[in-house]
Amino acid sequence: MFGMAYGTTLFAGPAQAQAQQTWRDAESLVATRWQVFLEAEPETRAWAFACYVAALDAEEAAAADMATLSSRIAA
């Protein structure tokens, strides 16, 4: 969904690298869940949408973790 500069971990250390990988995994899951929702039959559409929203929540949490680590590095 959003581009990420993969070289940003040069000075960040392993915690930042792990946070970025967690966010990338969460973003990938969002894309997958959205595709599942688009292809869902009417009887499973509500469940598929709930799974998509849960994936968005996980991506938001991963982004917040990454932002917290980034602000510590910048300080």
Residues 37-73: tens digit of each pLDDT:
999 999 999 999 999 999 999 999 999 998 888 776 6
Residue 1 domain-assigned (yes or no) = no
9: pLDDT strictly greater than 50: no
Residue 5 domain-assigned (yes or no) = no
Give me the pLDDT at residue 26, please. Answer: 97
Residue 21 domain-assigned (yes or no) = yes
Residue 4 domain-assigned (yes or no) = no
Residue 17: domain span:
13-74
Residue 30 domain-assigned (yes or no) = yes
Q: Report which of residues 16 and 52 the model is more confident about.
A: 52
**How many residues in the chain?**
75
Q: Which residues of 40-65 are buried (b: 16+ CB within 10 A; e: fewer)?
A: beeeeeeebeebbeebbebbeebbeb
Residue 14: partners with Cβ closer than 8 Å, 6 or more residues away = none
